[in-house]
């Protein structure tokens, strides 16, 4: 069974699939051990890992390299954040081939112009493509995939761009008509009302995906009550948790003039060895080194 089929089956069985962002194989391993259903190969997190803004500065090659590394260490399905598809419909054809081959089970493509600006940035430039042009991108993605279970998720930024619910619904319907398997509706409002209203008004058959980064009150009980949301993506919590922890530890080391206190509160080297699967290395050494 392909991981794409596994992802579809999980949605059918569980009603709501929980996807955690990752920016490295290590963060993907931790997400899998925690019990998440899949990995979000986040463009925002990878950009942050490189110390760059999320503005189409990370190349497809860089993102693919990390996705392959994640796929090599995690058994979970991977949903790849491919922003605008790296260009027009021709670029999307190339991207879908590469991401499917690299081990992705799904891609999310958004209807912004290239290069994009991250959605949650205050005052960021949020320009959307013509509906017909984005339909061409979705159609190109659907026509290119080789596994029919591979999910093409169309993300509309109409609410992010301040164009309102009517425009978001119109675009979502057009993208579903172009073949999108799912619709991701995004919002930067601090309360979930805008997203909840969209979901209630949505009359299409395509299930909904949300990323409740800006509206954290949207817990899973509230999500399930709406009945149309099939995937929730926790979109940048891995990198934010990493930044929080590193800032705290670094400051404490300087304050304490040593690691004697902080050493009690961080994982042991042995735990890192476990995550690196050093036990298997020892087994292989005993078996193969002559």
Is 3-236 CATH 3.40.50.300?
A: no
Contact 41, 105 (CB under 8 A): no
| Element of type H or E holding 106 | strand 106-110
Residue 219 is predicted with a pLDDT of 97
54 included as an active-site residue: yes
- Spatial neighbors of 184 by CB under 8 A, at least 6 apart, are 108, 110, 153, 154, 155, 156, 208, 209, 210, 211
For the residues of 212-249, what is the DSSP string, one character each? Answer: TTS-TT--HHHHHHHS-EEEEEE-SHHHHHHHHHHHHH
Residue 73 is predicted with a pLDDT of 97
pTM exceeds cut of 0.85? yes
Residue 121 is predicted with a pLDDT of 77
Residue 122 is predicted with a pLDDT of 79
Residue 125 is predicted with a pLDDT of 78
Please tell me which residue in 54, 81, 83, 181 is annotated as part of the active site: 54
Low-confidence ranges of the chain (pLDDT < 50): none
Residue 133 is predicted with a pLDDT of 98
Give the start-to-end residue ranges of the domains of the chain: 3-236, 243-288
Cα 28 to Cα 25: distance, rounded to the nearest angstrom: 5
Contact 83, 49 (CB under 8 A): no
Residue 235 is predicted with a pLDDT of 96
Assigned token pair, 266: 């961080």
């Amino acid at each position: 069974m392909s991981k794409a089929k596994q992802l579809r089956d999980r949605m059918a069985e569980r009603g709501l699939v929980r996807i955690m962002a990752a920016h490295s194989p290590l963060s993907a391993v931790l997400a899998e051990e925690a019990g998440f259903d899949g990995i979000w190969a986040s463009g925002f997190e990878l950009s942050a890992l490189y110390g760059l803004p999320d503005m189409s500065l990370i190349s497809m090659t860089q993102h693919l390299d990390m996705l392959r590394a994640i796929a090599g260490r995690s058994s979970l399905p991977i949903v790849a954040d491919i922003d605008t598809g790296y260009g027009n419909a021709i670029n999307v054809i190339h991207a879908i081939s590469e991401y499917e081959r690299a081990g992705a089970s799904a891609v999310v493509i958004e209807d912004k112009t290239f290069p994009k600006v991250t959605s949650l940035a205050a005052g960021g430039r949020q320009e959307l493509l013509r509906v017909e042009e984005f339909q061409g991108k979705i159609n190109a993605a659907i026509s290119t995939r080789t596994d029919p279970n591979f999910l093409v998720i169309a993300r509309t930024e109409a609410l992010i761009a301040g164009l309102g619910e009517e425009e978001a619904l119109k675009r979502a319907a057009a993208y579903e008509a172009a073949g999108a398997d799912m619709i991701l509706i995004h919002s930067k409002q601090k309360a979930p009302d805008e997203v909840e209203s969209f979901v209630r008004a949505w009359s299409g058959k395509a299930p909904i995906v949300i990323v409740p980064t800006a509206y954290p009150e949207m817990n899973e009980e509230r999500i399930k009550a709406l009945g149309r949301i099939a995937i929730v993506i926790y979109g940048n919590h891995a990198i934010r948790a990493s930044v929080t922890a590193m800032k705290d530890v670094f400051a404490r080391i300087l304050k304490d003039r040593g690691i004697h206190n902080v050493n009690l509160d961080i994982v042991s080297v042995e735990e890192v060895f476990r995550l690196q699967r050093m036990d298997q290395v020892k087994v292989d050494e005993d078996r193969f080194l002559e």
